[in-house]
Amino acid sequence: MSAVAAASARGAWAHLASGIRRHKMASFGAGIVVLVALSALLAPWLAPHDPLEQDVLLRLAQPTADFPLGHDSFGRDILSRILWGGRVSLYVSTLAVLIAIIVGGALGILAGYIGGLFDRIVMAAMDVLLSFPTLVMGLLVVAMLGPTVGNLILAITLTAVAPFARIARAPTLAVKERDFVEAGRALGFSNLRLMVVHILPNVVDDILVMAALWLATAIRTEASLSFIGLGVRPPTATWGGMIREGFENILDSPWLAIFPSLAILVVMFGLNMLGDGLRDTSDPRLRHE
Amino acid sequence: MLIYIVKRLLVAVPTLLAVLTVVFFFVRIAPGDPTFIILGDQASQQAIAAVHHELGLDRPMLVQYLDFMSTVLQGDLGNSLVTHRPIWNEVANVLPYTIELTLSALFIGVVLGLPLGIAAARHRNETLDYAARIFSLLGLSFPAFVSAIMLLLAFAIELHWFPVISEARTGDPLSRVSALVLPAVNLGLIMVAYVMRVARSSMLGVLGEDYIRTARSKGVPARVVIWRHALGNALIPVVTVVGLYLGVLIGNSVLTEIVFNRPGLGKLIVNSLNQRDYTMLEGLMVIYAFIIVIVNLLTDLTYGLVDPRVRQR
């Protein structure tokens, strides 16, 4: 059973990968995302200086050849902090979206497959989650529970579970009536097997397309919370936190806020291009654009 | 249509009650005792007990819950822990600022986004279309506080066209408008990106329909086909997206208010977070959730009004 599931998951990946390769915008976006992810992963080796090392003499110093992006108000190297900051932002957002996919996807498939009262209760709970504006819910969760990495992940996960549950439920409803599921049931396959082997592969495509766009949303939420002052505590570098510190010196040293802003823009632009391209390739009506 | 309205209302009411319940328990379960905000860390046991009694925190959870639900449903959100003024008053003071900001952003978004999206669909795969799509991808990529900072840097700090702090003096309409421009443009441009995308793709979908081909083959001019035959159907998804976008718009308005140091619900929520004003937070969450549930309801109703098929479901 797991072999079949693995094969169908591979099929979905292969389908998406070939879609990305054929689609210019998607492959450009994917390239940007891979580059940013690599630079964050390799930050310990790429960063020219210690992101936490302070040098009072170089407070707010302008960019030089040795420190190409200048120094912040504590005399820390901005380039190194951007490279390290990407780790926190990407770690928090990726983990939050992954958990949301697993929890939301499972809830959506279960709700669609079981139907009835269970379906109604799950979807009503999702409606309640969707009644809070994303950022406001994140604000409340982090403010009440404290600004730790775990709570940030929890807050962002809570904002993303409902959309994934909805997107997993819709194809489940359609697929469970199809003949091959009926045949599986007649053969005496367990419900779990039917859901994992026969329904999941039909849901994966939609979920992966949405994952790229939600990753962008998650990065935006994490950065926004850090900007408001509810991110991972200083001195740890995060992009949103750096913009917050830079904003305090916006009048005399605008580059403090501009460079981390550009970092966020680049990764968001890449993810949006990738997500858009994936949607085009997975939607046959748009395939010829 | 009446049956449809009643059906939708029947769904919205339990959602609202559930939302209130979540807000209540979340604020209660979270660590941290609001008494410390009132009394400080050094308070004696008796003083803490007295405040607990005054706030009703010594009662059983279920009693507190029922009391909370009944007062909120009567429209009473209680008093702020910090200022001791009714929460409604605090909200009413700043609400006009948030409303004028979000409405002008919506206006900019629809007035620019809709024609842009239609033009992009008409000139599909031409320069205009590519430019519009790149612009909309850029718009989606900007976190609202980043674009706000960029606008502030360019137009307030460098060019001095607009005030750096948009706290308008009351009673001076000109200063109020000039304080509104940059924040509204910031929210509006992001909104344009959303509206344009949906308008473009839904217009493309409608333009592929048989009845459009029929109209064209009869020799109806392109302009008439677009504005009279296609637009009505193409608008349906746009209405939904404007409704769905509200959650994003609220989040973005919080960030915009912070960057431009502008009074509003967003500034209020951040201040009450900093001061740990639990009752105020609770009240604001209730208000936000109410707004979202009601706008979703209105969106559904508009949807039913525009598209008779929806009503039958």
- Angle made by CA atoms A275, A240, A128, in degrees to the nearest 5: 60
Whether A38 shows a pLDDT value over 80: the answer reads: yes
Q: Does A189 touch chain B if contact means CB atoms closer than 8 Å?
A: no
- B99 and B66 in a common domain: no
Check CB contact of A50 with chain B, cutoff 8 Å.
Answer: no
Between B120 and B58, where is the model more confident?
A: B120
**Could you give the percent of chain B with pLDDT greater than 90?**
3
Number of domains in chain B: 2
Long-range contacts of B268-276 (CB under 8 A, 24+ apart): B268/B90, B268/B91, B268/B94, B269/A136, B269/A139, B270/A139, B270/A228, B272/B80, B272/B82, B273/A139, B273/A143, B273/A230, B274/A229, B275/B37, B275/B82, B276/B32, B276/B34, B276/B37, B276/B81
Residues B115 and B226 in one domain: yes
Closest CA–CA distance from residue B261 to any residue of chain A (Å): 12
The answer to whether B155 touches B179, Cβ cutoff 8 Å, is no
| B239 and B182, same domain (yes or no) | yes
Task: State residue A288's pLDDT score.
Answer: 45
The conformation of residue B79, written as its DSSP 8-state character, comes to B
Co-location of B58 and B143 in the same domain = no
How much of chain A exceeds pLDDT 90, in percent?
Answer: 14
* B43-68 per-position pLDDT tens digit: 677 777 777 777 777 777 788 888 88
In a domain, B4, yes or no: no
When pLDDT is averaged across residues A227-251 and rounded to a whole number, the result is 83
Averaged pLDDT for residues A240-252: 83
- Domain limits for position B294: 91-312
- pLDDT score of A13 more than 90: no
* pLDDT tens per residue across span B141-184: 888 888 888 888 888 777 777 776 656 555 667 777 777 888 89
**Per-residue pLDDT for A53 more than 70?**
no
A248 contacts chain B (CB < 8 A): no
What is the interface size between A and B, counted as CB pairs within 8 Å?
Answer: 123
Q: What is the mean pLDDT of residues A127-149?
A: 84
The verdict on residue B29 lying in a domain is no
Q: Which of B49, B76, B103 is the last residue of a domain?
A: B76
Which pLDDT band, with edges at 50, 70 and 90, does A219 fall under? very high
B63 and B108 housed in the same domain? no
Give the gap in angstroms from C-alpha B199 to the nearest C-alpha of chain A: 15
* Chain B touched by A252 (CB under 8 Å): no
Q: Please report the pLDDT score of residue A289 as a whole number.
A: 41
Name the domain boundary from B18, B49, B76. Answer: B76
Across the interface, whether the CB atoms of A224 and B144 are under 8 A apart is answered yes
- B120 and B161 inside one domain: yes
B188 in the Ramachandran plot: left (φ > 0), alpha (ψ -120 to 50) or beta?
alpha
For residue A190, pLDDT beyond 70: yes
pLDDT of A173 above 90: no
Co-location of B256 and B300 in the same domain: yes
pLDDT at A287: 45
Q: Find chain B residues with C-beta within 8 A of A261's C-beta.
A: 146, 149-150
Q: Which two tokens stand for residue A52?
A: 């936490």
CA dihedral A138, A142, A145, A150 (to 10 degrees): 100
**pLDDT of residue B294 exceeding 60:** yes
Is the domain of B107 the same as that of B194? Answer: yes
Say whether residue B39 is in contact with chain A using an 8 A CB cutoff: no
Interface contact A135-B250, CB threshold 8 A: yes
The mean pLDDT value for A159-174 works out to 87
Residue-wise pLDDT for B172-214, tens only, equals 677 777 778 888 999 999 889 988 988 888 888 887 788 878 8
Instruction: Please count the residues of chain A.
Output: 289
Q: Does a structural domain hold residue B23?
A: no
Indicate if the pLDDT at residue A69 is higher than 50. yes
B225-267 per-position pLDDT tens digit: 777 777 777 777 787 777 778 878 888 888 998 888 888 888 8
Interface predicted TM-score (ipTM) of this complex, two decimals = 0.82
Of B14, B27, B145, Cβ closest to residue A227: B145
User: Residue B275's closest chain A neighbor by CA?
Assistant: A143
Mark yes or no for CB contact A128/B281 under 8 Å.
no
Mean pLDDT score across all residues of chain B: 81
The arithmetic mean of pLDDT across residues A163-178, rounded, is: 84
pTM exceeding the 0.80 threshold for the entire prediction: yes
**Which domains, ranges and CATH numbers included, belong to chain A?**
2-287 (1.10.3720.10)
Clarify whether residues B72 and B105 are in a common domain.
no
pLDDT on residue A97: 94
Q: What is the CATH number of the domain that holds B294?
A: 1.10.3720.10
**Residues B124 and B257 occupy one common structural domain:** yes
* Cβ-based neighbours of B133, under 8 Å, separated by 6 or more: B120, B197, B200
Nearest chain A alpha carbon to B32: A144
pLDDT value, residue B225: 78
B59 and B103 fall within a common domain: no
pLDDT in tens, B83-116: 788 888 888 888 888 888 988 998 998 899 888 9
**Whether the predicted pLDDT of A102 surpasses 90:** yes
